[in-house]
Structure 1
Amino acid sequence: MSAPVLEPVSVAEPRRPAGRAAEGRRTTPARFDTALGWSDRPGVSWVLRIVLCVIALAIFAAPFVTIFAGALSRNPSGSSLSFLPHHPTLLNVKVAGERGIWDYFANSLVIAGGGLLLQLAVSVLAAYALARHRFRGQALVLTLFMLTMMLPEEVIAIPLSLVLGHVPVVGLDLKGTVWAVILPLGAWGFSIMLLTEFMKDIPAEIEEAARIDGVGEFRLLWQIILPLCRPALGVAGVLGFIMIWDQYLLPLIAAKDPTDYTVTVALSILRTDPQVGSGVVLAGAVVALLPSLIVYLLLQRSLVTGIAAGATKG
């Protein structure tokens, strides 16, 4: 007697509701949690959050608005704040250009661009050596990098001026050239420490698998390590550019002629010039402010992502 054949039982899929009801069930409204809470309906927390945002915006935006308003005013007052230009004009920008502000601006762009590229290259190579390799004296090297962050510029100004005037071994005089400003900025302890700590958290298994596949040292750094360090590179790039752009003492001691100055040094010259008013100085300040503001606005996502990634590690 043959056994009965059991046919497979098919389980019917549940019917999905159609129309707007289906869309409402499939989608769940996202909730954005903040320290003050979140609610679509007006309430005490909603009003308090709006008030705090307005206060923060007024505190941080008021200086920028005042500078722009003064730069476009014919006769700005230095004793009172104004958020709107009085008798709007571009005469202050024109006078600042006649005083050579655009030449100083070009010097700053060359120095900031070259210095940032050199700084990132040195920081990446130094951080890769400190984070992914072990060698004698590694702790001493890290300590030296930290010490460079603790020394103020005023302490090393005179020795640095002597070195730039007569570079040891080669005997070159770099004063009056852009290299006198770019080379001292090539190594920044902050970016080296930042990238070092970020590279230490990359799993060693990734590097071991790449070496088994025959990946060389440079290719490993370029194609594997660096893409994983994009958040840290964004932070180092933004802060490094602002640090180089805001340099004042180094361009001052590295210059041989006033034409070698950067825009930050030019602002002090405009300020002491009795033939120009405060409106011209504010116009020069706007010119000096724009690159840092543009770089921050373009790379703010990378900056926030890098800071958040560093805060959540461990």
Structure 2
Amino acid sequence: MRTIVSPAQLRSRRGRLIYWSLLVLLLAAFTLAFLFPLYWAATGAMKSPGELARTPPTVVPRVWHPESYVQAWQQMDLGRYFLNTVVVAGGAWLVQLVVDVPAAFALSKLRPKLGNAVLGLMLATLMLPASALLVPTYLTVTDVPLLHLNLLNSPTAIWLPAAANAFNIYVLKRFFDQIPDELLESARLDGAGPVRILLRIVLPLSRPILAVVSIFAVVTAWKDFIWPLLVFPDPGKQTLSVLLQRVAIDMPLNLLVAGLVLAGVPMVALFLVFQRQILAGLGSGAFKG
């Protein structure tokens, strides 16, 4: 096997020194590139507004103001908007799993007639820009067909449009395709129906990909801005992303940065807690062609 550095060069002392030196430098550079923005935001919130806006900027605050986080929490009433966002993101996650998992299971293992055509139509929706769907979706949630309900200022205005996610259905279906049919057939011979097979066999085997899909669902709902801005005209029911944009003009810069940092902490914590499941799901082959 031909590589950039031959095995003979790696076995030499000079080759090992150069190899490990470059590897450490590259790892340090990539780590700095990812962590420095987080450091800049976290320390920027602890600067005074004048120091934060000065040119050239200071890498380390001259005077530390950790109370900025407390002031941002109190002045922007972040606790209330955190709760709003948790309700929106949690509901969107639950609704997507309830709808997408059975849909992917049906397309993968039950193989209904015209299943491929249905999947193709679902994937075709991914070709449409999100902005093109705003108006028809908005008209739908303001007057739900048949029910004639107005869902504005209700979390269901976000939950229902997010329910049928074509990307999640495709990813789940690709994972379910890898589950051996013999395993499911043996369960059918024991008298298990489709629902029992899904709950007792498929879901326990699908924890890695369910973790990936869950992260996608929660992060998408947590950081979404345009759609919550449209469906929550009542300021008291808005999410964090809408709040931070609304108060950006009147809020001191350091407090605004503190609010942004606090809004991002749950997503960073979520990744750190479930990183093993996420990496397992990404490496499970569900994304391979």
Q: TM-score, normalized by length of structure 1?
A: 0.82
Q: For residue 249 of structure 1, what is the aligned residue in structure 2?
A: 226
1:82 CA drift (Å): 4.3
Q: Which has the higher helix share?
A: 2
1:136 match: 113
- Residues 73 and 179 of structure 1, relative CA distance in 2, 3 Å threshold: same
Aligned counterpart for 2:62 among listed residues 86, 110, 120:
86
Task: Please give the alpha-carbon distance, in whole angstroms, between the structure 1 residues aligned to 2:171 and 2:32.
Answer: 32
* Counterpart residue type for residue 300 of structure 1: Q
Q: Could you say which residue in structure 1 is the equivalent of 2:213?
A: 236
- Residue 168 (structure 2) aligns with: 191
Measured against aligned partners, the alpha-carbon deviations of 1:215-248 in whole angstroms (never above 9, x if no partner) come to: 1221111111112212211211112211111111
Distance 2:45 2:162 in 1: 31
State how many pairs are aligned.
277
Match of 2:45 among 71, 74, 77: 71
Quote the residue 2:150 is aligned against: 173
41-50 or 189-198, larger mean C-alpha shift? 41-50
Q: Distance in 2 between matches of 1:215 and 1:107?
A: 40
Distance 1:301 1:83 in 2: 33
Aligned mate of 1:303, from 260, 278, 281: 278
1:92: Cα distance to partner? 2.6
**The one of 265, 273, 282 aligned to 2:242:** 265
CA RMSD of aligned residues (A): 2.2
Q: Measure how far apart 1:68 and its partner are.
A: 0.2
Retained in 2: the 8 A contact 1:72–1:89?
yes
- 2:281 maps to a residue whose letter is G
CA distance, structure 1, for counterparts of residue 189 and residue 28 of structure 2: 56
The aligned residue for residue 114 of structure 1 is 91
RCO higher in structure (CA 8 A, sep ≥6): 2
Given the superposition, is the C-alpha separation of residues 204 and 82 from structure 1 closer, same or farther in structure 2, using an over 3 Å criterion? farther
Q: Tell me which residue corresponds to 1:26.
A: none
Stretches of structure 2 that go unaligned for 5 or more consecutive residues are: none
State the identity %: 32
Task: Using structure 2 for the length normalisation, give the TM-score.
Answer: 0.89
The aligned residue for residue 291 of structure 1 is 266
1:173 match: secondary structure = coil
The AA in structure 1 aligned to 2:31 is L
